[in-house]
Each structure stands twice: as structure tokens, then as C-alpha cells.
């Protein structure tokens, strides 16, 4: 990964809102961009040089009909040691004094009940984002519900949630991510944490859920994908199964709850940090 050359694509969004940026990410992330950075009024997107296709990006942008306009420019980035960059920025985190998330190079830390070591590479999910933190907190709160159960982590990223569930005593956990880099990172992290026998990771989308039934489903994605996929999540849950979702703002909670209710799920709780929200539902 370190030797790859990357293109930075700056897409101007008019009018710029965080919701419009999320919509745009959902539309273009399969092109395949590896990461995104919001710097209003621009969404900055990063892709390996050999995978960049400006004609395809222009085609996708021209087909958008969401009430905002876009224009873009692209520039070759200087070669960067990405691992060195995130290593310099990644500090350990502790969730409610019970779960520590650290990198492979962090040494001599005080251990908590559950200790997770990750190598993020270019995949999303170091535990620092409020949504990942709240999802970990939701799992810790429902420890009794996890033991010996089957857990699915949708949009698993680095697989922090799947690994935590495995360490908490889940019978088996699965992780699915649409990004191949994330799926590979998730597999490596499960091995690093010595739970690879209990964690399986796959590259794909929610259509893969039809392969099985789950007691607990975790989805830390974004509002639009959640609204689209919650019905699929509900079908894949066993009776009395739990769904925990995050990746949306507190003002979007009524919309998420309404979608879940239509899918046959009952609201049980929610949590919030810095206007980000996490919610839990149960299948009756």
C-alpha cells in the first residue's frame, strides 16, 4: 500500500451540507475510491492512480438528481507512507473503561476486560469515530445477549465490532464489507486478535445476508444505506434478535425508527455523541 500513487479528487458540492456529502459518497464509493475527507464545500476523494477513471466519475456525477450540483478537479498526490501517517495520528482509545482499541505498535498499555489490536491500513474504523465508539458501548451493555449467539457486522471495516463480539463470547461472528481492502483488513485483524476461528469476513453487500440467520446484527454505515437495507436486516434476524445501527445524526432518529417499525422491529434504546446517534431494535 505504501508504494501506491494516489489521485486526490476534489468534488465541489453546491449547496454543501453533510447530508449531501453522504449521498455523494454513497453514489461514488464503488468507482473505487478508498477514503473520503469532507472539507466544505468540497468532498475530497482518494483513489489509486491506476484505478482512476475520470470519464466514469463524470458519468456518475451527471446522473445525480438530488437537488445539488457538482464539479470536480483531480491532482496526483506526492507519494506518502500512509501507514506512517495514521500511526502518527492513532492513539489508543478506551470505551467505558472496559474495551481498549489499540494499534500493533502500541506497547505497555494497561489492559481492560476486552483488548483489541488492529491494523487499519486503508479501511475505515479505528474506534475513534463517535459511531464506532457508541456501537462498542452498545455491545458492552448487552453482553448477556451476545454469549453463544450468532453476530453479523455489516459494513465491518476493520472488524472492531465483530472482534469485540467474539471476545465477549459470541458463538460465531461474521463481517461483510463492500470494500475489498476492508474485508481483507478485517480478516487480518481477526487473526491478530486470535479470534479467526470465530470470525468470518466477506466482501459484498446486504444481499449476502440471505445465507443465514443472525441473533444480533450490527450496521454502522450511513443513513441512506440504513434506510434501504433495514428491511433486509429485519428478515435476516431470528425472533427476538437485536439490531444496532449507527452512522446517522440525532435528527434522523425518527426516520430510522419509522423504517425499523415498518420492518417489524421494536425500538428499545438510543445513544448519542456530538450529534451522532446509535439506536437499538428488537425483532418480535
Joined together, the cell numbers standing for residue 265 give 422491529
Least confident of 89-93, 164-168, 273-277: 89-93
Q: What is the model's pLDDT at position 228?
A: 93
Residue 2 has pLDDT above 50, yes or no: no
Question: Can you identify the CATH homologous superfamily of domain 123-283?
Answer: Vaccinia Virus protein VP39 (3.40.50.150)
Percentage of the chain modeled with pLDDT above 90: 58
Joined together, the cell numbers standing for residue 282 give 428488537
User: Strand, coil or helix: what is 267?
Assistant: strand
pLDDT in tens, 12-25: 999 999 889 988 99
Q: ∠ at Cα 94 (18, 91), nearest 5°?
A: 70
Q: What is the model's pLDDT at position 36?
A: 83
Please state the pTM of the whole predicted model. Answer: 0.71
pLDDT in tens, 77-92: 876 655 555 555 567 8
Q: What is the model's pLDDT at position 280?
A: 98
Mean pLDDT of 239-263: 95
Q: What is the model's pLDDT at position 236?
A: 96
Confidence of residue 1 (pLDDT cuts 50, 70, 90): very low
pLDDT in tens, 196-215: 999 999 999 999 998 899 99
Q: Which fold has domain 6-80?
A: Alpha-Beta Plaits (3.30.70)
Q: What is the model's pLDDT at position 90?
A: 65
Q: What is the model's pLDDT at position 157?
A: 85
Q: What is the model's pLDDT at position 123?
A: 45
Name the residue ranges covered by the structural domains of the chain: 6-80, 123-283
Mean model confidence pLDDT for the chain: 88
pLDDT in tens, 128-164: 678 889 999 999 999 999 999 999 999 998 899 999 9
pLDDT in tens, 99-139: 999 887 777 778 899 999 987 554 455 556 788 899 999 99
Q: What is the model's pLDDT at position 13?
A: 94
Q: What is the model's pLDDT at position 110?
A: 83
Backbone torsions φ then ψ of 261, nearest 5 degrees: -60, -45
Q: State the distance between the two ends of the chain, measured CA to CA, in whole angstroms.
A: 45
Backbone torsions φ then ψ of 74, nearest 5 degrees: -135, 150
Q: What is the model's pLDDT at position 79?
A: 64
190 Cβ neighbours under 8 A, 6+ residues apart: 159, 162, 163, 166, 175, 196, 199, 201
Identify whether the C-beta of residue 248 lies closer than 8 Å to the C-beta of residue 226.
yes
Joined together, the cell numbers standing for residue 151 give 453476530
Amino acid at each position: 500500500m505504501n508504494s501506491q500513487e494516489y489521485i486526490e479528487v476534489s468534488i465541489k458540492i453546491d449547496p454543501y451540507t453533510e447530508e449531501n456529502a453522504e449521498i455523494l459518497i454513497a453514489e461514488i464509493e464503488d468507482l473505487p475510491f478508498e477514503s473520503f475527507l469532507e472539507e466544505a464545500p468540497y468532498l475530497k476523494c482518494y483513489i489509486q492512480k491506476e484505478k482512476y477513471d475520470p470519464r466514469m466519475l463524470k458519468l456518475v456525477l451527471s446522473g445525480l438528481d438530488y437537488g445539488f450540483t457538482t464539479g470536480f478537479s483531480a491532482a496526483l498526490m506526492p507519494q506518502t507512507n500512509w501507514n506512517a501517517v495514521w500511526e502518527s495520528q492513532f492513539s489508543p482509545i478506551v470505551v467505558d473503561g472496559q474495551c481498549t482499541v489499540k494499534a500493533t505498535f502500541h506497547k505497555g498499555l494497561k489492559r481492560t476486560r476486552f483488548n483489541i489490536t488492529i491494523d487499519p491500513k486503508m479501511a475505515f474504523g479505528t474506534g475513534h469515530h463517535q459511531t464506532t465508539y457508541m456501537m462498542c458501548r452498545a455491545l458492552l451493555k448487552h453482553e448477556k445477549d451476545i454469549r453463544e449467539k450468532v453476530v453479523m457486522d455489516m459494513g465491518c471495516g476493520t472488524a472492531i465490532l465483530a472482534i469485540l463480539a467474539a471476545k465477549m463470547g459470541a458463538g460465531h461472528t461474521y463481517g461483510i464489507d463492500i470494500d475489498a481492502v476492508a474485508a481483507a483488513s478485517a480478516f487480518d485483524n481477526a487473526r491478530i486478535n486470535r479470534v479467526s476461528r470465530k470470525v468470518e469476513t466477506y466482501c459484498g453487500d446486504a444481499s449476502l445476508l440471505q445465507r443465514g440467520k443472525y441473533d444480533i446484527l450490527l450496521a454502522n454505515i450511513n443513513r441512506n444505506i440504513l434506510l434501504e437495507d433495514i428491511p433486509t436486516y429485519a428478515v435476516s434476524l431470528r425472533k427476538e434478535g437485536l439490531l444496532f445501527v449507527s452512522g446517522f445524526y440525532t435528527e434522523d432518529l425518527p426516520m430510522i425508527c419509522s423504517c425499523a417499525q415498518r420492518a417489524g422491529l421494536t425500538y428499545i434504546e438510543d445513544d448519542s455523541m456530538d450529534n451522532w446517534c446509535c439506536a437499538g431494535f428488537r425483532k418480535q
